[in-house]
Amino acid sequence: MKIWSNRFKDKMSVELEKYTSSIKFDNFLLKYDIKCSICHVLNLKTINIINKREFVILKNYIFLLKKYKFIFKSSYEDIHLNFENELINLNYIGNKIRSARSRNDLVSTDLKLWFLQKFRKIYYLMIYFLSNLLKVSEKKSLIFTGFTHFQIAQPINYSHYLLCYFEMFLRDVNKLLVLIKNNNFSPLGACALFGTNFFLNNFKTGKILGFDSSFNNSIDAVSDRDYVNDSMYFMSSTMIHFSRFSEDIVNYSNNCINILELSDSICTGSSIMPQKKNPDILEVVRSKCCVVIGNFFSILSIFTSQTLSYNKDIQEDKKILKNCYKIFKNTILVFNKIINNLHIKSDRCEKLLEENFSTATDMAEYLTKKGVPYKISHSIISLIVRNFIKKKRKLNSFKFKDLKEIDLNLYNYLYKKKISLKYISVKNSLKMKYLGYYYGTMNKEIFKNKKKLLGLFNI
């Protein structure tokens, strides 16, 4: 019999029951429902709805249900009513547990407990990933190819490239920290939307459940799922970072570019082309990123048109959040493996950089240091580049007298200023960079980041 059956003349069909039921996807909340229920019976004893004996009976049966093999029924809609029903089946006093609480504040509390537990785990997994990224970056002050617009741009340092991802993921971790801290309050006690006529110490309840505090506004407590939206945003933006990293590795390990290589254990082959080594895992990361973003939009859409306070639309949130959490957690684990199996081909980087005029900017900057306005420096070097491309020459064969042939006026302009132009090699380009640390060691940047990481422990 349905809990509200006396109100209705007609019965709901099984199809409709199944359609609205969430038990298939909210039964993972059982553990939290039990936690809240134990806390709630304690409250019921305090406000004299149950006596000491009833409290002991209820508490024992709730503990018993912890190990119970539930047969979930969609006729009981969700985990909360399935649980309550089993408790009543075990003992008539179970009928009292519904006093002074509603499924609205219960589901809100269950999901928030789940969220805080799982996303704290994510927080530490991310810190582990960041420390692994730092480890991989250490002793990797090697020449790497820097791109803009996916065209070879300038020589860069491999550690510095990797540490760019450190910055991105560090921002994500900080985002998550704020999210966890801002949502550490309990909705239990808000009941349907405006509390109850029984006196409950919600703050104490919140503390017992492990929250920092309790809700300020009961309507907000039952209708708020901002932490779901925000965690979906957090996962989406972090997945975008994983996706960009994947895209880099896919491109850089491509046969034509060939500046990075993944260990065989990270790649897959082809069922028909024997020579193939494919970066499937990274491709999957990219597509999983799209799945998470798509789900983020679903969550946002669910909340756009909701009037206050609780509406059943909200029910779908946990399905989406949980699925994405799983994808997300696995992606962090997978990416740890990926970065541990990434090998740089520094010689190839240097060759590509040398062949593709990557130090042209250094040469222009050299002229500017000698007093030539940058616009003119830029046009002198671009003229040399154009000429060399036409003649199929590499920039490292450049001699100052070449400029005479290319543009006599420009040659004379520099000559009069007593400026002689020389080729700047890829290695020298890296040495010349002023970034506050010497490219050869990168120790400063790594040391700074290690300190930042240490500050993230203990939330």
Of 25 and 147, the one with the shorter C-beta distance to ligand ARG is 25
Q: How far is the CB of 124 from ligand ARG (least distance, A)?
A: 28
One residue of 104, 109, 236, 377 binding ligand ARG per CB under 6 A: 104
Q: How far is the CB of 314 from ligand ARG (least distance, A)?
A: 5
Q: Say how far residue 20 (Cα) sits from the centre of its chain.
A: 31
Of 155 and 187, the one with the shorter C-beta distance to ligand ARG is 187
Per rule CB under 6 A, is residue 35 in the interface with ligand ARG?
no
Q: How far is the CB of 267 from ligand ARG (least distance, A)?
A: 42
The residue whose Cβ lies closest to ligand ARG is: 78
Cβ–Cβ < 8 Å for 213, 206: yes
| DSSP string of 363-392, one letter each residue | HHHHHHHTT--HHHHHHHHHHHHHHHHHTT
Selected range binding ligand ARG among 2-10, 103-111, 197-205, 393-401, rule: CB under 6 A: 103-111
Per rule CB under 6 A, is residue 186 in the interface with ligand ARG?
no
Q: Side chain identity at 392, as an amino acid letter?
A: K
Q: Is 149 a catalytic residue?
A: yes
Q: How far is the CB of 103 from ligand ARG (least distance, A)?
A: 4
Cβ–Cβ < 8 Å for 227, 238: no
Of 305 and 458, the one with the shorter C-beta distance to ligand ARG is 305
Dihedral of the alpha carbons of 57, 63, 66, 70, in degrees to the nearest 10: -10
One residue of 33, 54, 78, 445 binding ligand ARG per CB under 6 A: 78
* Gap between the Cα atoms of 124 and 128, Å rounded: 6
Per rule CB under 6 A, is residue 345 in the interface with ligand ARG?
no
Question: For residue 382, what are the CA distances in angstroms to 364, 375, 410?
Answer: 9, 11, 12
What are the start-end ranges of the E strands in 392-458? none
Q: How far is the CB of 20 from ligand ARG (least distance, A)?
A: 9
Catalytic hit among 5, 213, 270, 287: 270
Per rule CB under 6 A, is residue 30 in the interface with ligand ARG?
no
Bond before 309 cis per omega within 30 degrees: yes
For residue 206, which phi and psi values (nearest 5 degrees)? -55, -45
Per rule CB under 6 A, is residue 7 in the interface with ligand ARG?
no
One residue of 26, 33, 172, 224 binding ligand ARG per CB under 6 A: 26
Pairing of strands 151-157, 342-344: unpaired
For residue 101, which phi and psi values (nearest 5 degrees)? -155, 160
- Number of residues forming the site for ligand ARG (CB under 6 A): 9
* Gap between the Cα atoms of 384 and 421, Å rounded: 11
Q: Side chain identity at 31, as an amino acid letter?
A: K
> Radius of gyration over alpha carbons of the chain, in Å?
31
Q: How many CB atoms sit inside 10 A of residue 156's CB?
A: 21
Of 22 and 202, the one with the shorter C-beta distance to ligand ARG is 22
Q: Is 305 a catalytic residue?
A: no
| Residue in 262, 320, 315 with CA at minimum distance from that of residue 291 | 320
Per rule CB under 6 A, is residue 449 in the interface with ligand ARG?
no
Of 179 and 314, the one with the shorter C-beta distance to ligand ARG is 314
Per rule CB under 6 A, is residue 82 in the interface with ligand ARG?
no
Q: Looking only at residues 277 through 336 of this chain, which bind ligand ARG when binding is defined by CB under 6 A?
A: 312, 314-315
Residues with catalytic function: 149, 270
- Give the footprint of ligand ARG on this chain (CB under 6 A): 22, 26, 78, 103-104, 107, 312, 314-315
